[in-house]
């Protein structure tokens, strides 16, 4: 969501394919929220809506925000296909997250999956997302690990867009948090030449104390 990754960039990317993503919820979302009671969730960078729809299907009331009008339109349609009850638990917002203010302590879960921004944009955005977590709520941030740049998988060659869990710790101000997950799990991916390679993800979850 820098100047060259704004709304026009993402709208064009989505228009170029019938579906940009798999349509399945991110596996770390399933893993990290398995034991959480449903409440109010913020899905930051909601894309075509798979995560928000999965959460709503489990009783969460979701605010889903994405910069792309094309993505939001697809997500709304996917939710409608799942039924009125589920669709009614999601509010879709077309907004640039770097300019959007979610408000303080409103959400029982804030999830941001694979938002890769320059530090000048990422730090204030993730700071606002952390501030939006209610007491007892969770912040879940997932991204590609910086070590992926050493593999043959196609990643934008902009090292400062990638982060570790330790890079996120300064966002948790005031000693009001418990870090529950700060890991770098491995998974297999296929490079452009069809070879299987190992990539890593940053998975970070913290709980704001009551």
CA angle 130, 132, 133 (to 5 degrees): 75
Distances (CA, A) of 114 to 39, 117, 143, 161, 205: 23, 9, 4, 10, 14
pLDDT of residue 32: 98
- Structure confidence at residue 73 as a pLDDT band (50, 70, 90): very high
pLDDT value at 11 more than 90: no
pLDDT value at 88 more than 90: yes
HEC sequence for the chain: CCHHHCHHHHHHHHHCCCCCCCCCCCHHHHHHHCCCCCCEEEEECCCCCHHHHHHHHCCCEEEEEECCHHHHHHHHHHHHHCCHHHHCCEEEEECCHHHCCCCCCCEEEEEEECCCCCHHHHHHHHHHHHHCEEEEEEEEEEEECHHHHHCCCCCCCCHHHCCCHHHHHHHCHHHCEEEEEEECCEEEEECCCCCEEEEEEEEEEEEECC
Task: Tell me the residue range of the domain where 32 lies.
Answer: 3-169+176-208
Q: How far apart are CA 48 and CA 92, in angstroms?
A: 11
Q: 184, 17, 188, 11: which is closest to 96 by C-alpha?
A: 11
Q: How many domains does the structure of the chain reveal? A: 1
Average pLDDT over residues 51-79: 96
- Structure confidence at residue 2 as a pLDDT band (50, 70, 90): very low
- Percent of the chain topping pLDDT 90: 84
pLDDT value at 1 more than 50: no
Q: Could you report the per-residue pLDDT of 169-189, keeping only the tens digit for each? A: 998 976 799 999 999 999 999
Q: Could you report the per-residue pLDDT of 123-164, keeping only the tens digit for each? A: 999 999 999 999 999 999 999 999 999 999 989 899 999 999
Q: What is the CATH number of the domain that holds 30?
A: 3.40.50.150
pLDDT value at 202 more than 80: yes
State pTM to two decimals.
Answer: 0.92
Contact by Cβ (8 Å): 67, 96:
yes
**Overall residue count recorded for the chain in this entry:** 210
């Amino acid at each position: 969501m820098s100047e060259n990754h704004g709304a026009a960039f993402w709208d064009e990317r989505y228009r170029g394919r019938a579906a940009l993503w798999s349509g399945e919820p991110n596996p770390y979302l399933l893993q990290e929220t398995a034991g959480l009671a449903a409440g109010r969730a913020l899905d930051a960078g909601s894309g075509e809506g798979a995560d928000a729809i999965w959460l709503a299907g489990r009783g969460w009331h979701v605010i889903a925000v994405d910069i792309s009008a094309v993505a939001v339109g697809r997500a709304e349609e996917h939710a409608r296909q799942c039924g009125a009850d589920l669709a009614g638990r999601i509010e879709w917002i077309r907004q640039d997250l770097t300019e959007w203010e979610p408000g303080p302590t409103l959400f029982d879960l804030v999830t941001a999956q694979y938002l890769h921004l320059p530090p000048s944009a990422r730090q204030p955005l993730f700071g606002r997302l952390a501030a939006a977590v209610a007491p007892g709520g969770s912040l879940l941030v997932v991204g590609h690990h910086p070590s992926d740049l050493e593999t043959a998988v196609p990643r934008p060659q902009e090292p400062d867009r990638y982060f570790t869990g330790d890079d996120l710790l300064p966002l948790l101000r005031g000693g009001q948090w418990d870090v529950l997950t700060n890991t770098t799990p491995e998974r297999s991916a296929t490079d452009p030449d069809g070879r299987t390679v190992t990539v890593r993800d940053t998975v970070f979850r913290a709980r704001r104390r009551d």
